[in-house]
Structure 1
Amino acid sequence: MTSAYPTLEQMGIHSFDSISQYRLRREARADVLKVYYHRPAGSLLSRSKKFTFARPKAAVPVEFQKTAQWHQLDDTSPVLRQALVELQQLLNTAGPDGDDATRDSKQQLLQDLEHMERVMKAKLEELRRQIAALK
């Protein structure tokens, strides 16, 4: 039996009907794909999987790396490109364009900021507990 999503299967993704969304971001020398799952409360299964795809090393000036063109370079992994196609098919979403992409980017940044705030708050509370235990 041939899967409809062979690239995702090769990446270790098998619960296709549990996928709720995915995010793609570009880090310094890699693309990071994060796939999120619908999970019931109290589930021991992970709520997400993270995949990192290295980019080829290129001599690009730092100033250029801060531009929009840098984020649109076509040097992404072919496996990543195929995985994105399969995820879009799976979730019945069209590729982002125009204002939708801007709104999605802003929404993602806000979600990332909220997540980072929760993580930092939890870490600070943990450190305070450890300090209190030392007294």
Structure 2
Amino acid sequence: MTDFTTLKEMGISAFELISRFSLRREHDRDVLKIHYLRPVTSLRRHSQKFTFARPRISIPGQSRHSQAWRQLTDCSPMLQQALAELKQLTGTNEQPLSAKQEWLQDLHHLENVVEARLVEIRENIEQLNRVDLKH
């Protein structure tokens, strides 16, 4: 059993509440999202995001879409250790995503973000309509 040193350094203390985690690549960053088991009515956050910069290595432009590029842009050591601790906590042994799975995951995330933003904008418009009717 480990003491989850890296997760503690990241400010995480409620290890028993971690339900799952996900990892996304955004340009030159890795985004780790940790989800917690909390009641829907809880005022505490249900998830937490951490961003890790990917190392910059100068290589020819034509090589940037090759497998060699993926190997050269490994994630940060802190992220690797955090992932190992999270896998131990959640009991998962996830395999790395294929390129297609990464694109599908990114597409799904983008759809969720856009949909949430559309709902927010519609609610704001409705609030403006209610204010206009009162005047």
TM-score grouping bracket, smaller chain normalisation: 0.7 to 0.9
Whether 2:14 is the aligned partner of 1:15: answer yes
**Structure 1 134/59 Cα, relative in aligned 2: closer, same or farther at 3 Å?**
farther
**Structure 1 18/111 Cα, relative in aligned 2: closer, same or farther at 3 Å?**
farther
Please report how far the alpha carbon of residue 118 of structure 1 lies from its aligned counterpart in structure 2 after TM superposition.
Answer: 3.4
| 2:38 aligned residue | 39
User: Higher relative contact order at CA 8 Å, sep ≥6: structure 1 or structure 2?
Assistant: 2
SS state of the match for residue 26, structure 1? strand
Matches within 5 A, 1:1-135: 4-59=3-58, 65=64, 70-96=69-95, 101-102=97-98, 105=102, 108-109=105-106, 111-129=108-126, 131-132=128-129, 133=131
The answer to whether the 8 Å contact 1:26/1:71 transfers is no
> Scaled by the length of structure 2, what TM-score is found?
0.75
SS state of the match for residue 55, structure 2? coil
Percent of pairs with identical residues = 39
| Superposition RMSD in Å | 3.1
Please report how far the alpha carbon of residue 106 of structure 1 lies from its aligned counterpart in structure 2 after TM superposition.
Answer: 7.0
**Structure 1 95/125 Cα, relative in aligned 2: closer, same or farther at 3 Å?**
same
Q: Which is higher, the Rg of structure 1 or of structure 2?
A: 2
- Mean Cα deviation higher: 47-56 or 123-132: 123-132
The answer to whether the 8 Å contact 1:35/1:50 transfers is yes
**Structure 1 23/57 Cα, relative in aligned 2: closer, same or farther at 3 Å?**
same
**Structure 1 39/67 Cα, relative in aligned 2: closer, same or farther at 3 Å?**
farther
SS state of the match for residue 88, structure 1? helix
Structure 2 unaligned runs (5+)?
none
* Distance of 1:63 and 1:116 partners within structure 2: 32
* Distance of 1:128 and 1:60 partners within structure 2: 48
**Amino acid across the alignment from 1:118:** E
> Scaled by the length of structure 1, what TM-score is found?
0.75
**What does the per-residue CA deviation read over 1:83-106, in whole Å, with 9 as the maximum and x for residues that have no partner?**
001011111111315xxx359647
SS state of the match for residue 4, structure 1? coil
The answer to whether the 8 Å contact 2:57/2:72 transfers is no
